[in-house]
Amino acid sequence: MPQPFTELTAVAAVLLRDNIDTDAIIPSREIRAVAKTGLADGLFANWRYLPGEGRTPDPGFALNDPEFRGARILIAGENFGCGSSREQAVWALAEYGFRALLTPSFSPIFQRNCVRNGVLPACLARHAIAQLAEWVSADPQRHRPSVSLVTQRVAAGARSWPFEIAADAREALLSGLGEIEQTLRFNDRIAAFQAADRLRRPWAYDLGPATPGSHRESE
Amino acid sequence: MPATLFEKIWNEHLIADTSGGGLLLLDRIFLHERTGGVALQSLRQSGHRVANPAHVFATMDHVIDTRPGSRNPGAADRAGNPFIEVTRREARAAGIHLFDTDDPRQGIVHVIGPELGIVLPGLTLVCPDSHTGTQGAIGALAWGIGSSDAEHALATQTLRIPKPKTLRVFIDGTLQAGVTAKDLALHLIGMHGASGARGFVVEFAGPAVRRLDLEARMTLCNMATELSAFAAIIAPDEQTFAYLRGRPFAPPGERFERAASQWQELRSDPDARFDLEIHLDASEVRPMITWGTNPQDALPIDGSVPDYQAVSGRLSRQAYERALSYMGLEQGRALAGLPIDGAFIGACTNSRLSDLRRAAALLKGRRVAPGVRAICVPGSTQVKRLAEAEGLASVFERAGFEWRESGCSMCFFAGGESFAPGQRVVSSTNRNFEGRQGPQTRTHLASPETVAASAIAGHIADPRTGQR
Ligand code: SF4
């Protein structure tokens, strides 16, 4: 279950590229196990490491910059998390330590995945992102922005900007309550809805029992 | 009140309003081994169970081995095996439908959904996969979700979602010969950009859409994902009903006809209001090809790489230069005539029987140019069998194409097989992102016809001039 999110003051890393897709965040080949963990190492692998075998950090890549050490906030460009719907992208970011992502816009599936995992996807105006990035970059270890989900603002020194987040996403992040548990409390209502629906649309239920396909038992 | 097709389906499935959206009943949940196994496993580990196993389907398509010859029960790359094994184990434990590697119903999730009649008009269907909107071509509301949402869907048969806005893309005019739904889609994405439909359900409508057969409609809806659409949908019609009759999971006989009479209502009312409308003339569309690393970088095939000015509204100078260097191109370079190393026909965009037929018509009696690696991967085991039965497979093979087992194959790179670094590939897939078909592989998206014509020519070629 996700951790509740209320406020966070932390080092922010700056990666101002637009259209950072989920394959850039976690390349497909880095997803080796059927698990939600073990992904932090592969985060941004194509950019983070120099080409070749043994993972040598590319000194030119932002996250390898000692200035951004310990970053828990990521400031990035537009349309962040586009591409494949793989939730591993969020798991990798979260495992690496990020709890808040600040961008002008997100891919919708990615944004929902963030909320499910207790990571705040906050949309700021383009100019706010630019000003914030500039302020942070001047001295990242000391210029730590504060993100408040309570007031829906990001503060940087004397300045602050509002950010956008859907009302239900905000509630879910603030409470940290698992969504499945929330919905299961409506179970009776769902069952009643389905019973009535079955009469309205019998064809939607005309499926027969599940038939697991045969498979040669592998010896 | 007049309603759009989307609103009708939304209202019919709305259990409760939530702030900014609703709690919706789901009719079908589809899983594949790449994301489905982990969702089932994590659900079980958290002490929940699948609410309605009979409404849940799983297939093996993403990492399964597609190399020619007898079907390997494992992955193309050993690292993929755990995904297959976990999905198999969890699917059996949960008692859901499973189309395993050796099942004749196996195939790419968005190909077999319609093919098996699992998706029907007016249904809601979700899958932890971004191209789920493909299945909206049947007249269903089908959308892609993440793994946590998939767990929620499995445990409750519902999902809480924000209500999307509505966008109608009205298409009239007639597609010219040699121009396909894929070109239409690339044309649209080229015009409106990679975020052109963000937050919208796209309804494709108009006489040109009515004239598309069901498989072409699937291609069109498939590509709406590259406009960032929440989902795509096309109102069902007689063609849709004819397509679905007799499919294994569609209701049989009289029960089908009763359902079809209800499905007649599934269309936007004449005076329904959309949040946004786009109009398109199909006769203006030419065969399309992409030059960059996003599907929005699409141009008519006789075009050349644009200068920065032409794309500055969409790309930063840095992104433009990065795309050019990745693709090994320079401004002003004509796209037709670019030498290629690979040709790929497959993926949930263009791997159905009609796609293979049209490509085969161009390949018949010809040979792939020397040095070009050409691959055809049917979208499902059933497509493969039908193509073999009507002689298409041997047309592909005689032309020098690899004829493969069905699956996603080299549509995306997962650490197994891929094209080589720097290789230029013309591909019937839907994404040309950096590294999508292999590290440093350069992908040009196009229709299966254009892929076939280019494979023969050895360079990017207009399929219309190749036609006999
Ligand atoms: S064919 Fe490609 S785009 Fe389609 S589901 Fe498979 S990997 Fe995704």
State pLDDT tens for residues B165-192: 999 999 999 999 999 999 999 999 999 9
DSSP reduced 3-state for A17: coil
Is the pLDDT assigned to residue B351 strictly greater than 70?
yes
Instruction: Tell me how many residue pairs between chain A and chain B have CB atoms under 8 A apart.
Output: 194
- What does the pLDDT average to over B398-415? 94
| Model confidence pLDDT, tens digit, residues A72-90 | 999 999 999 998 888 899 9
Residue A167's H or E segment, with its range, is: helix A167-175
What span, in angstroms and rounded, lies between the C-alpha atoms of B300 and B297? 10
- What does the pLDDT average to over B346-359? 98
Listing DSSP states for A52-97 in one string gives SSS--B-TTSGGGSGGGTT--EEEE-SSBTBSS--THHHHHHHHHT
Phi, psi of B156 (to 5 degrees): -125, -10
Residue labelled with tokens 């949908």? B233
Listing DSSP states for B218-287 in one string gives HHHHHHHGGGTBSEEE----HHHHHHHTT-TTSPPHHHHHHHHHHHTT-S--TT---SEEEEEEGGG---
Residue B228 and residue A19: Cβ atoms within 8 Å?
no
Phi, psi of A120 (to 5 degrees): -85, 120
Report the residue of A26, A46, A84 to disrupt the B interface, i.e. the one with the largest count of B CBs within 10 Å: A84
Is the pLDDT assigned to residue A217 strictly greater than 50?
no
Residue A114's H or E segment, with its range, is: helix A108-116
Closest-CA residue of chain A to B98 = A212
Instruction: Give the tokens for residue B461.
Output: 């070629």
What span, in angstroms and rounded, lies between the C-alpha atoms of B83 and B407? 14
DSSP reduced 3-state for B75: strand
Residue A212 and residue B92: Cβ atoms within 8 Å?
yes
B176 Cα–ligand 1 center, Å: 28
B460 contacts B289 by C-beta, under 8 angstroms: yes
Residue A183 and residue B151: Cβ atoms within 8 Å?
no
Ligand 1 pocket test: which of B59, B64, B111, B348 has the largest number of ligand atoms within 8 Å of its C-beta? B348
Ligand 1 pocket test: which of B411, B417, B425, B445 has the largest number of ligand atoms within 8 Å of its C-beta? B411
At A209 the pLDDT is 59
From residue B392, how far is each of A84, B363, B374, B399, B453 by CA, in Å? Answer: 32, 10, 15, 11, 16
Residue labelled with tokens 């039965």? B389
- SS3 assignment for B294-349: CCCCEEECCCECCCHHHHCCCCCHHHHHHHHHHHCCCCCCECCCCECCEEEECCCC
Residues in the ligand 1 pocket, defined by CB under 6 Å: B 61-62, 108, 110, 129, 131, 347-348, 408, 411-412, 429-430
Q: Which residues, including other chains, have CB under 8 Å from residue A183's CB and lie 6 or more apart?
A: A190, B23, B152, B155, B156, B158, B160
Q: Which atom of ligand 1 is nearest to the CA of B347?
A: 1
B133 Cα–ligand 1 center, Å: 12
At B328 the pLDDT is 98
pLDDT band at A97 (very low <50, low <70, confident <90, very high): very high
| Model confidence pLDDT, tens digit, residues B297-316 | 999 999 999 999 999 999 89
What span, in angstroms and rounded, lies between the C-alpha atoms of B75 and B60? 10
pLDDT band at A126 (very low <50, low <70, confident <90, very high): very high
At B20 the pLDDT is 79
Is the pLDDT assigned to residue B404 strictly greater than 50?
yes
Half-sphere exposure of A204 (CA within 13 A, CB side): 25
Is the pLDDT assigned to residue B416 strictly greater than 70?
yes
> Is A218 in CB contact (< 8 Å) with chain B?
yes
At A177 the pLDDT is 76
| Model confidence pLDDT, tens digit, residues A163-216 | 999 888 898 899 887 788 889 888 999 999 999 999 999 999 998 656 555 443
Listing DSSP states for B133-155 in one string gives GGGGGGT-EEEE--HHHHHHHHH
**B chain contacts of residue A105, beta-carbon cutoff 8 Å:** 195, 198
Rounded to an integer, what is the distance from CA B106 to the centroid of its chain?
Answer: 16
Residue A126's H or E segment, with its range, is: helix A126-138
What span, in angstroms and rounded, lies between the C-alpha atoms of A149 and A120? 8
Residue B102 and residue A166: Cβ atoms within 8 Å?
no
- What does the pLDDT average to over B205-217? 98
- SS3 assignment for B39-68: HHHHHHHCCCCCCCHHHEEEECCCCECCCC
Q: Which of residues 161-200 of A touch B (CB under 8 A)?
A: 166-168, 171, 179-180, 183-184, 186-187, 189-190, 193-194, 197, 200
Q: Which of residues 33-62 of A touch B (CB under 8 A)?
A: 33-36, 46
Residue A112 and residue B436: Cβ atoms within 8 Å?
no
pLDDT band at B393 (very low <50, low <70, confident <90, very high): very high
Predicted TM-score (pTM) of the model is: 0.86
- What does the pLDDT average to over B89-110? 96
A69 contacts A44 by C-beta, under 8 angstroms: no
Residue of B266, B251, B222 lying closest to B124 (CA atoms) = B266
pLDDT band at B216 (very low <50, low <70, confident <90, very high): very high
| Model confidence pLDDT, tens digit, residues B256-288 | 999 999 999 999 999 999 999 999 999 999 999
Residue of B213, B211, B187 lying closest to B358 (CA atoms) = B213
At A140 the pLDDT is 96
Is the pLDDT assigned to residue A51 strictly greater than 90?
no
- What does the pLDDT average to over A31-40? 81
| Amino acid code (one letter) for B406 | S
Residue labelled with tokens 């081994």? B33
| Amino acid code (one letter) for B111 | V
Residue of A55, A154, A38, A54 lying closest to A96 (CA atoms) = A38
Lowest mean pLDDT among B9-18, B72-81, B238-247, B357-366: B72-81
What span, in angstroms and rounded, lies between the C-alpha atoms of B215 and B212? 8
